């Protein structure tokens, strides 16, 4: 069931959507930078909330073996959200039409790659989802419990401030730009979870 604005009739989802920037008016990409968009997909499995991450193949020339959110470059003629949803479908096998966009976090600039990246948050209402990693790009899809991402004691500070925080998961590590993007979207998720039911 959905509310009149198209969101599922789920108090958490509605609260979270109200705490994020709108999908259409999230901001702008950095001038002169390459444009990219990622999506943090939230879903329930056996009563707990999860978020999938992609584990890139170790033999790729770009970002080998890294853990990230599904997403990629925005191509001419599509919006940032359309790019994120398309990439999620291509990379992890979730139909773009099944993703309900809730909003966006603050965009970040990665100077090393000259990418300006906006992170979207989307709801996937199917508990029976089975991810299908694209074998051309990925080794696996890691289903990470949201509780793990929100556990501040699990995060580690990098040896140098510029490396930021990192989070060990399933024999891998979330770090770098992905960790910085999460720093922008996890606080509103926490606030939406902590808000009293109305």
Q: How confident is the model over 124-175, as pLDDT tens digits?
A: 988 889 999 999 999 999 999 999 999 999 999 876 556 689 999 988 999 9
Read off the pLDDT of each residue in 52-62 and give the average, rounded to a whole number. 85
Domain borders along the chain are: 11-145
pLDDT of residue 6 exceeding 70: no
pLDDT of residue 159: 67
Burial 111-121 (b: 16+ CB within 10 A, else e): eeeebbbbbbb
Find tokens 């291509």 and name the residue. 90
Provide Rg for the chain, Cα atoms.
Answer: 16
Residue 55 · residue 63 · CB < 8 Å: no
Read off the pLDDT of each residue in 8-29 and give the average, rounded to a whole number. 91
Q: Select from 172, 145, 38 the least CA-distant residue to 99.
A: 38
Q: Encode pLDDT of 80-129 as tens digits.
A: 999 999 999 999 999 999 999 999 999 999 998 999 999 999 999 888 89
Residue 55 · residue 65 · CB < 8 Å: yes
CA distances from 175 to 88, 182, 183 (A): 20, 10, 11
Find tokens 């702008």 and name the residue. 28
The burial class, CB within 10 Å (0-12 / 13-18 / 19+), for 87 is: buried
Class of domain 11-145: alpha beta
pTM reported for the whole predicted model: 0.91
Find tokens 């999230």 and name the residue. 26
| pLDDT tier, 187 (very low <50, low <70, confident <90, very high otherwise) | very high
Read off the pLDDT of each residue in 17-23 and give the average, rounded to a whole number. 96
pLDDT of residue 5 exceeding 60: no
pLDDT of residue 59: 79
pLDDT of residue 176 exceeding 70: yes
| Cα–Cα distance, 124 to 130 (Å, whole number) | 12
Burial 35-60 (b: 16+ CB within 10 A, else e): bbbbbbbbbbeeeebbbbbbbbbeee
| Cα–Cα distance, 70 to 132 (Å, whole number) | 12
């Amino acid at each position: 069931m959905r509310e009149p604005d198209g969101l599922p009739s789920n108090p958490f989802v509605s609260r979270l959507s109200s705490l994020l920037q709108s999908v259409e008016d999230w901001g702008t990409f950095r001038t002169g930078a390459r444009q990219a968009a990622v999506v943090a997909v939230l879903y329930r499995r056996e009563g707990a909330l999860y978020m999938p991450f992609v584990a890139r193949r170790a033999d790729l020339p770009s970002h080998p073996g890294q853990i990230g959110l599904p997403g990629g470059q925005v191509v001419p003629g599509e919006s940032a959200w359309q790019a994120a949803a398309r990439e999620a479908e291509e990379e992890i096998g979730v139909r773009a039409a099944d993703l309900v966009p809730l909003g966006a976090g603050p965009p970040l600039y990665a100077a090393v790659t000259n990418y300006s990246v906006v992170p979207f948050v989307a709801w996937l209402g199917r508990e029976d989802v089975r991810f299908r990693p694209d074998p051309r790009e990925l080794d696996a899809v890691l289903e990470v419990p949201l509780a793990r991402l929100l556990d501040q004691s699990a995060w580690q500070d990098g040896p140098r401030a510029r490396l930021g925080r990192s989070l060990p998961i399933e024999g891998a590590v979330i770090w770098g730009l992905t960790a910085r993007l999460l720093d922008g979207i996890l606080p509103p998720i926490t606030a939406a979870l902590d808000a009293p039911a109305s």
